[in-house]
Amino acid sequence: MKLSFPVVEEPDTAAREKGRKLFAGNNSDFLKGVVAMSGLPSADRIEVCFAGRSNVGKSTLINALTGRTRLARASNTPGRTQEINYFTLADSHYLVDLPGYGYANAPLPVIEKWQRLLKQYLSGRATLRRAFVLVDMRHGIKDVDEEIMSLLDSSAVTFQVVMTKADKVKEKDREKVMAQVREKLSKHPAAFPELVITSSEKGDGIPTLRAIIAGLD
């Protein structure tokens, strides 16, 4: 029986090289932070976005992908990033860092504002090719993760789960978490059927994720 939501296979040489070239050099820069739909840049290139709970390692992953340690600002304060942050990638892509969710300490009006902006963005961005939903390998999918996944389902935006901080979990303990993730994803029609396992600290999965992004048309 074929395993549902298997870990994506390592890219072949050509795909790996295409990913390396896209992210090579210092060709990524912060473009702008957006707080309303009117502030979005022109939809003139391929766009991928990254979503995840606060402290899931989103900024660290973007930095690892681009090879720029301070491109995306990591914060010790959950929910501090309240904007949709746009980064250019060469002249062909945007990397989009969505506000972290699971921000228990944020005021309710702030949370509601973020949610409205997120819904508008996800349902109205024609150039958005894929959302990457980051899930901490130590914790698996939580209720707040399922909320964003349901939003992506209703917005008809394909999302792919990226497991982060894999180096923090022993190999023998991973399977229990992965089983939980697969079970949860089976209920989401917009979920892409392959998982990516990463460690920004060790570089695991980074070439694979680069190749995936480079292969999106």
Q: With contact defined as beta carbons under 8 Å apart, do 112 and 97 qualify?
A: no
In the prediction, which pLDDT does 208 show? 98
In the prediction, which pLDDT does 79 show? 46
Residues in the chain, total: 217
Residues 121, 132: Cα–Cα separation, whole Å: 15
Residues 197, 181: Cα–Cα separation, whole Å: 12
pTM of the prediction? 0.92
In the prediction, which pLDDT does 41 show? 95
Which tokens sit at 40?
């979005």
Which tokens sit at 111?
């949370």
Maximum C-alpha span of the chain: 48
Residues 121, 139: Cα–Cα separation, whole Å: 27
CA dihedral over 204, 135, 191, 81, signed as positive or negative: negative
Please compute, for residue 108, the number of CA atoms within 13 A of its CA located in the half-sphere on the CB side: 0
- Locate tokens 């990463």: which residue? 198
In the prediction, which pLDDT does 20 show? 95
**Could you tell me which residues are beta bridge partners of residue 50?**
97, 132
**What is the residue type of 120?**
Q
Q: With contact defined as beta carbons under 8 Å apart, do 123 and 99 qualify?
A: no
In the prediction, which pLDDT does 178 show? 96
Sheet arrangement for strand 84-89: 28-34, 84-89, 93-97, 46-52, 128-136, 159-164, 196-197
- From first to last of its 217 residues, what are the pLDDT tens digits of the chain? 456 899 999 999 999 999 999 998 778 999 999 989 999 999 999 999 999 988 899 999 999 999 887 787 755 444 445 789 999 999 999 999 998 876 556 677 877 888 888 889 998 899 999 999 999 999 999 998 998 999 999 999 999 999 999 999 998 889 999 999 999 999 999 999 999 999 998 999 999 999 999 999 8
In the prediction, which pLDDT does 82 show? 72
